[in-house]
A = this chain, B = another copy of it.
């Protein structure tokens, strides 16, 4: 018998992952080039060649027992120092290695920080639409996820409602910009306003509220959009980063947490996050990959393939009569379903071998997510299907 809690987790399990598994099965039946799988944020752009070169040079130049061995649970000191310096150079921050914990991707980092902070019943606020896994990450530690309803016009966070949902039990807020699934980037004005609200509420309740910034898509922005570095706007900010999307390494499970010295109860948070890394069974972020990414901190992220996909997909869908906002970042397009029940629309797309994810997975029914981190040909070849579905719904 599995645990009762797991029964719940399995029931609410990832629609996205189920689709990914189904996509693989459909590809076996119809041929991979006849299935248009927009379900998963699995980058189709190969890792920059510097990554494999870095891996090989680490293997050739460093001792095996060092490269593949244990290090401090928080990661190699020199890697953490390199990450801190890179952030300082880019964002004018003043981190040192002590502020960095290397993690098993962003998902690992978020679990570490929620385990560190949450007592049962503590509330964590997030903004719909949000990455569905947050519910599990918070639930793992018996926290309560409190959801601010979406602004389906702009997909910017609804700050008025946010303010009303902060209570004495609010321990953390989680934001994700560039956003999965909307592709929206939170503006500096939004971050400033959010920080004001949080500072006011901290004073009102005499509590510490940690703002957790989940940033796997930080590097993936189009045009001259700026993504503010949130630690500069609000002291109690903790950043979770991942190289999964920027360096196309999602399978490698490599990222980091930034815990600035300014956060409330810094020493205890840092110490507990280190212990949480160990006892949650990560022990440490994968060692070879730590050393490899440290050599790739200045690699230019090539967003052009995603941008090309974005333009073709967005322009085509709008031409067919669909309604959507143009994503500014990440590699997702969040589109309004032509029928109220977006699951019906998802099913109609599947008849054309198009796999997309219902918005209810992101607490935003009536919309669908299209992950365009696929080949240009996949998008091109999927268009007749999208067009046929648009016609079916009389767009």
Q: Which residues of A contact B (CB under 8 A)?
A: 1-7, 9-10, 13-14, 17, 20-21, 40, 42-47, 51-52, 55-56, 59, 63-65, 67-73, 104-105, 107-112, 115-119, 122, 133, 136-137, 140-141, 208, 248-253, 264-265, 268-269, 271-272, 275-276, 278-289
Contact = CB atoms under 8 A, between A and B. Distances in A.
Contacts of A110: 281
State how many copies of this chain the complex holds.
Answer: 2
B104 A1 contact: no
A295 to B, nearest CB: 15
Contacts of A289: 286, 288
Nearest to A251: B287
B68 A47 contact: yes
A272 B6 contact: yes
A284 B55 contact: no
Contacts of A71: 251
A158 to B, nearest CB: 27
Contact of A44 (B65, B72, B122): B65
A14 B13 CA distance: 34
Nearest to A270: B2
Nearest to A373: B65
A53 B118 CA distance: 44
Nearest to A41: B70
A89 to B, nearest CB: 26
A306 to B, nearest CB: 14
B251 A10 contact: no
Contacts of A115: 3, 6, 140
22 contacts: A2-B117, A4-B119, A6-B116, A9-B275, A9-B279, A14-B278, A17-B73, A40-B70, A42-B69, A47-B68, A52-B64, A70-B250, A104-B283, A105-B281, A115-B140, A133-B278, A137-B279, A251-B288, A252-B286, A252-B288, A253-B284, A253-B287
A248 B68 contact: yes
Nearest to A76: B251
Given A10-B271, A69-B43, A119 B3 contact: yes
Contacts of A272: 2-3, 6-7, 9-10
A67 B46 CA distance: 10
Contact of A283 (B56, B68, B105, B281): B105
Nearest to A133: B279
Nearest to A112: B281
A147 B13 CA distance: 35
Given A46-B63, A288-B251, A288-B252, A3 B281 contact: no
The 7 A-B residue pairs with the shortest CB-CB distance in the complex, in nearest-first order: A251-B287, A111-B281, A46-B64, A136-B279, A107-B281, A108-B281, A2-B272
A265 B137 contact: no
Given A283-B105, A289-B286, A269 B2 contact: yes
B249 A68 contact: yes
Contacts of A252: 68, 286-288
